Structure 1
């Protein structure tokens, strides 16, 4: 009986099932991570904003999150004319 099952040809649906079970992800295994959100609230109006480096002003109320002051650096020097 076992020899007859080996010789039996698979149907199209059975071949598809075998192929689906043997597939792997293109980018490799997906790591398990906890869900998270990368947002911060404006301290002035409590509006949520996406956290991105370099974002300095609230889009809703105009609150300044950070003030940058230019100082003399290694390669960049302040212009004394302005």
Structure 2
């Protein structure tokens, strides 16, 4: 004859405390902050253009140049003669 056993209770675990490392991981870092700023500026450029689609890469790169301070190097191969 088999012995009936009572259902096991789930082992209680102590609540996890957020350590300083966990807090730092959840907060946006400098890279995320820059990306958010670039995205916001790119959206402003999009709105200034009258919300005209098809220029998202141009807007992103322009915003990136403004925020990161990269000089614009003109490509003369596409200039009209």
> What TM-score does the superposition give when structure 2 sets the normalisation length?
0.25
Richer in helix (by share): 2
Richer in strand (by share): 1
Structure scoring higher RCO (CA < 8 A, sep ≥ 6) equals 2
